[in-house]
């Protein structure tokens, strides 16, 4: 009893024991309360010791993909409609269409895969019974004796398409919409599982964080199950099929359809895969729920629910004890427990799950909140299951304590402080790395967004990697967690609508159970611009079903659905708790240069929605969709503040570039200036999410011969565009900054008017050309840049001095440079860990003889790596460039390119990266690996 005595509570109020198989769950009654309790979540998985082992399966895989001329095997999940004449470049706001019915004429494996989702189907009558038989059991690839030595060796996360080559031109299998990379096709992954004989009697799970897509799994020749949605995380029980003391053969088949997405989906086992070993009695999958129903500076009530699963053949009496610790900024437990929940006892029936609930009070809690005014403090609940004094399981649940309110007239409040949502939409790819998740690459994305002033991320439009949410928890970003881009109506012929009827409930419940403890998640979104906006009451009925599921899983957070068409008097907007508008707030194709364009057209609708729904907060879930190419300045310059891209108006359909003056957008969008003005005019709007923070693969509006977007504020290589500084000036008004554009290398414009714009957090500025003043200007109401549109170009130096409240605030200068003479390398950090996953991002800058960056240079740069590292990818941020990311040589785009280097696993030493460019002095940089 010594162990139990040590777990007695410090401070607590009683326990509640409920039986989970009754189907009773917390009701999600409406109206939704405006004061929301903070919640928490299981963070990125880490290796654990003791009764629970979580073992990475990322190494040791063999990979095979059927070639273009090969006929894939017939082990299909289901039949699909035939795709004919799909228009890859149709507008992003095109109306979704009805599904196409297809009758199966061959054996499909869907009946064997559907039972994988049973734990996420609430109604027992709707759960799936597994048919008899073992489809695919005799297929060679699932057999232990199959010779796969000629297959490619790969390490996960693995995106089979990211190295290319890119498809060029028209009539190709994958066009610009999906990124022109070879994502389509059927592929297999195989590896051995060595399970010691001492593991006999344990329970084994395969945990897959993301597999693109239609995954089906065999172990030792037996079909175990699978999951079709490529973004979901899921689990298979391997216990009936595993053979302790023997070498086990695992085989995973993926089938990635063409025409299945509106952006680059990635391909393969592109997130982490784990083997989890537990005792038959253990904490269930995502089995803890932490909420904090009462929070103040002096005390916080922490409520914990623990689902205890018993996979054994007999009932088991279990003691449940939990200690709560503070976490350091690095996520490590610190000091002694700050609280202990009281010991609880439950008798868990065989093959059932019981839920134990308890409450404790933490004095003087350290609250989680977004920087810079708050700190993302975190805790961890360590739950131990014991039987007769022996630990059966130890399960850790990181969480945060925070109080969130959604006020219809004022916006979002965190811990009593009004927080304007300064958000960015983010797709899931990592640029030159493709969709293969890498923690350092994702961290870099968030760090650059933070430097711009961003405090929130919308996961558009799918579940993120769990490690990404661990990062947003640690760094203090607010998260809008989103799951579906379509429901029953389709946007592309083979998208999620094909599986929505069978899988929308398991997918939505799985997302919320996985992410509900994450303090960064403040809002659930169950749809983006879905076609059901157009179908009135029928579409609203689908929304109500999804809403009910979300409330059953998490009654503490509000829900939303992003709308680009639905109007206040339609039934769908009435369903969700928060009104989320895509582009409708500032108006779609409304006024000025947008008048008369084809497509959805609306006036600014913030006032109409606020009047119709006075009890709901309004969020601009998608705005701007401004377009630009880093360092490209096209003339003439539009005299207004926002215009759609066209030839002669910010665009060049020959070079496939968009002007970096940051005045241009997609037809349904607007410039940042127009968005800022609209938000300032409607202070009850909580803020919004720009489309997008980073460029992403696919959807290269307006030039679908390209392979990546133009909408990012940061380009695909991670280099800020001019718009970065415009957002920084608006989102960080306390930061002294000024930024001049364009560059000043214009020999062909000598004597011609060359507009000069200034982005500054100051309120006025004076411009100088070669020491001569060109006047001092002050921002007027509704203006977010200062413009000198009549500057006559002369080589030399442009300088701006910004002022705020009459005092000197910041300055910037640009100079005319000479020709490129050398390559200069700069690493984003100089120490790596030898994990086999750690990355360094190295910028190659072409400079003149005086070391000044040459903004127009396009020289080809070749990279080499020496020491315990390897070149992973290169990039330059040019959306039109179709050179493989795997190429070690790359042309600079407007003076810059990037090389990404990975430290080898277990190898310490010095990595030396060198860059050479014909006729120029080379550059080098060193990085230490520990």
According to DSSP, residue 169 is labeled S
Average pLDDT value for residue range 718-734: 98
3-state SS track over 274-315: EEEEECCEEEEEEEEEEEEEEECCCEEEEEEEEEEEECCCCC
Average pLDDT value for residue range 203-229: 98
* pLDDT digit string, tens, across residues 736-757: 999 999 999 999 999 999 999 9
Give me the residue label for tokens 């004429």: 105
Q: Which CATH class is domain 52-278?
A: mainly beta
* pLDDT digit string, tens, across residues 887-908: 999 999 999 999 999 999 999 9
Name the burial class of residue 60, with classes exposed (0-12), middle (13-18) and buried (19+) by CB atoms within 10 angstroms of its CB. middle
Average pLDDT value for residue range 162-167: 98
According to DSSP, residue 52 is labeled -
- Do 393 and 282 meet the contact criterion of CB atoms below 8 Å apart? yes
Q: How confident is the model at residue 25 (pLDDT cuts 50, 70, 90)?
A: very low
pLDDT at 545 over 50: yes
d(CA 134, CA 111) in angstroms, rounded, equals 11
pLDDT at 24 over 90: no
pLDDT at 9 over 50: no
Q: Dihedrals φ, ψ of 573, to 5°?
A: -60, -20
One fold for 52-278 and 281-400:
no
* pLDDT digit string, tens, across residues 833-842: 999 999 999 9
Which pLDDT belongs to residue 104?
A: 65
Which structure tokens are listed for 724? 């970065």
d(CA 729, CA 783) in angstroms, rounded, equals 12
Query: Residue 714: which residues within 8 A CB-CB, separation 6 or more?
Result: 445, 448, 449, 452, 693, 694, 695, 720, 721, 724
More confident residue, 765 or 4: 765
pLDDT at 43 over 90: no
Query: Residue 411: which residues within 8 A CB-CB, separation 6 or more?
Result: 418, 419, 420, 421, 617, 683, 684, 685, 686, 687
pLDDT at 447 over 60: yes
Name the burial class of residue 627, with classes exposed (0-12), middle (13-18) and buried (19+) by CB atoms within 10 angstroms of its CB. buried
Q: How confident is the model at residue 18 (pLDDT cuts 50, 70, 90)?
A: very low
**What CATH architecture is 281-400?**
Sandwich (2.60)
d(CA 109, CA 345) in angstroms, rounded, equals 42
- Do 922 and 912 meet the contact criterion of CB atoms below 8 Å apart? no
Respond yes or no: is residue 82 known to be catalytic.
no
Which pLDDT belongs to residue 642?
A: 97
According to DSSP, residue 537 is labeled H
CA neighbor of 194 nearest in space, from 270, 245, 260: 245
Beta strand 687-691 with 421-426 is parallel
Q: How confident is the model at residue 49 (pLDDT cuts 50, 70, 90)?
A: very low
Percent of the chain with pLDDT over 90: 91
Q: Which helix (H) or strand (E) holds 202?
A: none
Query: Residue 751: which residues within 8 A CB-CB, separation 6 or more?
Result: 792, 793, 794
Average pLDDT value for residue range 785-790: 98
Is residue 498 helix, strand or coil? helix
CA atoms within 13 A on the CB side of 540: 13
Domain 409-624+669-697, what fold?
A: TIM Barrel (3.20.20)
More confident residue, 397 or 19: 397
Average pLDDT value for residue range 117-129: 97
More confident residue, 406 or 83: 406
Give CA 646 to chain center in angstroms.
31
Average pLDDT value for residue range 188-209: 97
Query: Residue 357: which residues within 8 A CB-CB, separation 6 or more?
Result: 15, 16, 17, 18, 303, 304, 305, 306
d(CA 713, CA 722) in angstroms, rounded, equals 8
Name the burial class of residue 84, with classes exposed (0-12), middle (13-18) and buried (19+) by CB atoms within 10 angstroms of its CB. exposed
pLDDT at 575 over 80: yes
Q: How confident is the model at residue 50 (pLDDT cuts 50, 70, 90)?
A: confident
- Do 336 and 298 meet the contact criterion of CB atoms below 8 Å apart? no
Which structure tokens are listed for 887? 């190429």
Q: How confident is the model at residue 22 (pLDDT cuts 50, 70, 90)?
A: very low
* pLDDT digit string, tens, across residues 654-670: 999 999 999 999 999 99
Considering the candidates 323, 403, 467, 529, report the single residue annotated as catalytic: 529
pLDDT at 650 over 80: yes
- Bridge partners (DSSP) of residue 607 are none
CA neighbor of 102 nearest in space, from 127, 83, 130: 83
d(CA 691, CA 624) in angstroms, rounded, equals 6
- Do 825 and 901 meet the contact criterion of CB atoms below 8 Å apart? no
Please check whether the domain covering 822-929 is classified as CATH 2.60.40.10.
Answer: yes
Beta strand 831-832 with 822-827 is unpaired
Considering the candidates 488, 622, 632, 662, report the single residue annotated as catalytic: 622
- Do 903 and 838 meet the contact criterion of CB atoms below 8 Å apart? yes
- Do 378 and 368 meet the contact criterion of CB atoms below 8 Å apart? yes
- Bridge partners (DSSP) of residue 237 are 205
Q: How confident is the model at residue 70 (pLDDT cuts 50, 70, 90)?
A: confident
Which pLDDT belongs to residue 45?
A: 38
Percent of the chain with pLDDT over 70: 95
- Do 761 and 734 meet the contact criterion of CB atoms below 8 Å apart? yes
Respond yes or no: is residue 323 known to be catalytic.
no
d(CA 89, CA 176) in angstroms, rounded, equals 7
The sign one gets for the Cα dihedral 407, 410, 414, 417 is: negative
Other CB atoms within 10 Å distance of the CB of residue 601: 14
Average pLDDT value for residue range 502-513: 98
According to DSSP, residue 817 is labeled -
**Taking the domains of the chain in order of start, what are their residue ranges?**
52-278, 281-400, 409-624+669-697, 752-815, 822-929
| CATH code matching the domain that covers 752-815, chosen among 2.60.40.10, 3.30.2350.10, 3.40.50.10210, 3.20.20.70 | 2.60.40.10
């Amino acid at each position: 009893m010594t162990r139990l005595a040590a777990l007695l509570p410090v401070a607590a109020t009683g326990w509640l024991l409920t039986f989970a198989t009754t189907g009773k769950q917390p009701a999600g009654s409406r109206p939704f309360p405006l004061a929301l309790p903070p919640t928490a979540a299981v963070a990125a998985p880490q290796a654990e010791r003791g009764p629970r082992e979580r073992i990475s399966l990322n190494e040791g895989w063999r990979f095979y993909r059927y070639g273009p001329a090969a006929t894939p095997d017939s082990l299909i999940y289901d039949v699909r409609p035939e795709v004919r004449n799909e228009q890859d470049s149709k507008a992003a706001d095109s109306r979704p269409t009805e599904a196409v019915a297809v009758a199966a004429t061959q054996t499909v494996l869907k009946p064997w895969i559907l039972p994988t989702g049973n734990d996420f189907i609430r109604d027992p009558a709707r759960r799936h019974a597994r048919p008899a038989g073992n489809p695919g059991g005799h297929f060679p690839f699932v057999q232990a004796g199959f010779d796969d030595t000629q297959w490619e060796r790969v390490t996960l996360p693995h995106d089979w398409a990211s190295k290319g080559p890119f498809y060029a031109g028209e009539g190709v299998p994958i066009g610009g919409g999906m990124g022109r990379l070879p994502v389509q096709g059927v592929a297999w992954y195989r590896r051995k599982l060595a399970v010691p004989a001492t593991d006999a009697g344990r329970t084994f799970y395969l945990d897959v964080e993301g597999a693109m897509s239609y995954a089906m799994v065999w172990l030792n020749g037996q079909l175990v199950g699978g999951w079709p949605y490529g973004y979901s995380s899921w689990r298979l029980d391997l216990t009936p099929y595993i053979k302790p003391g023997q070498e086990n053969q695992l085989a995973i088949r993926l089938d990635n359809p063409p025409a299945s997405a509106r952006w680059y989906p990635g391909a393969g086992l592109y997130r982490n895969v784990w083997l989890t070993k537990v005792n038959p009695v253990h904490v269930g999958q995502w089995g803890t729920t932490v909420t904090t129903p009462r929070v103040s500076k002096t005390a916080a009530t922490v409520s914990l629910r623990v689902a205890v699963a018993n996979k054994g053949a007999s009932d088991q009496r279990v003691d449940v004890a939990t200690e709560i610790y503070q976490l350091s900024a690095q996520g490590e437990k610190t000091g002694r427990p700050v609280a202990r929940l009281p010991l609880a006892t439950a008798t868990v029936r065989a093959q059932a799950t019981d839920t134990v609930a308890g409450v404790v009070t933490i004095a003087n809690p350290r609250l989680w909140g977004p920087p810079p005014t708050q700190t993302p403090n975190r805790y961890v609940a360590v739950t131990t299951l014991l039987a007769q004094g022996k630990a059966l399981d130890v399960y850790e649940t990181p969480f945060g304590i925070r109080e969130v309110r959604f006020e219809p007239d004022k916006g979002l409040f965190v811990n009593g402080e009004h927080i304007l949502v300064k958000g960015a939409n983010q797709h899931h790819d990592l640029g030159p790395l493709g969709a293969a998740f890498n923690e350092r690459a994702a961290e870099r994305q968030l760090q650059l967004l933070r430097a711009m002033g961003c405090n929130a991320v919308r996961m558009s439009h799918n579940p993120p990697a769990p490690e990404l949410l661990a990062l947003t928890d640690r760094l203090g970003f607010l998260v809008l967690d989103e799951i579906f881009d379509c429901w029953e109506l389709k946007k592309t012929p083979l998208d999620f609508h094909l599986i929505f009827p069978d899988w929308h409930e398991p997918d939505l419940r799985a997302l919320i159970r996985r992410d509900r403890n994450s303090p960064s998640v403040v809002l659930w979104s169950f749809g983006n611009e879905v076609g059901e906006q157009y179908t009135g009451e029928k579409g609203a009925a689908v929304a109500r079903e999804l809403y009910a599921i979300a409330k059953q899983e998490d009654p503490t957070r509000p829900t939303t659905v992003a709308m680009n068409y639905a109007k206040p008097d339609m039934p769908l907007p009435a369903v969700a708790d928060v009104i989320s508008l895509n582009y409708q707030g500032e108006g779609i194709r409304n006024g000025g240069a947008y008048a008369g364009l084809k497509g959805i057209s609306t006036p600014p609708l913030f006032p109409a929605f606020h009047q119709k729904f006075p009890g709901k907060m309004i969020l601009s879930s998608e705005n701007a969709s401004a377009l630009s190419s880093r360092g490209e300045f096209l003339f003439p310059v539009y005299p207004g503040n926002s215009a759609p891209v066209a030839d002669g108006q910010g665009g060049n359909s020959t070079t496939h570039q968009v002007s970096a003056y940051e005045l241009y957008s997609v037809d349904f969008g607007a410039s940042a200036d127009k968005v800022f003005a609209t938000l300032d005019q409607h202070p009850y709007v909580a803020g919004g999410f720009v489309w997008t923070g980073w460029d992403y693969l696919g959807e290269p509006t307006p030039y679908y011969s390209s392979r990546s977007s133009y909408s990012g504020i940061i380009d695909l290589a991670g280099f800020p565009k001019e718009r970065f500084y415009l957002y920084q000036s608006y989102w960080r008004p306390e930061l002294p900054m000024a930024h001049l554009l364009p560059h000043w290398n214009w020999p062909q414009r000598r004597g011609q008017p060359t507009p000069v714009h200034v982005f500054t957090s100051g309120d006025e500025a004076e411009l100088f050309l070669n020491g001569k003043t060109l006047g001092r200007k002050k921002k007027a109401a509704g203006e977010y840049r200062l413009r000198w549109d009549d500057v006559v170009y002369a080589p030399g130096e442009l300088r701006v001095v910004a002022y705020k409240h009459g005092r000197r605030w910041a300055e910037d200068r640009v100079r005319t440079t000479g020709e490129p003479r050398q390559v200069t390398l700069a690493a984003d950090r100089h120490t790596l860990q030898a994990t086999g996953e750690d990355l360094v991002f190295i910028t190659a800058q072409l400079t003149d003889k005086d070391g000044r960056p040459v903004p127009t240079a396009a020289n080809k740069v070749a990279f080499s790596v020496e020491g315990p590292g390897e070149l992973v990818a290169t990039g330059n941020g040019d959306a039109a460039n179709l050179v493989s990311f795997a190429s070690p040589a790359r042309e600079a785009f407007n003076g810059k390119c990037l090389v990404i280097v990975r430290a080898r696993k277990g190898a310490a030493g010095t990595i030396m990266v060198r860059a050479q460019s014909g006729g120029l002095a080379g550059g080098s940089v060193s990085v230490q690996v520990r």
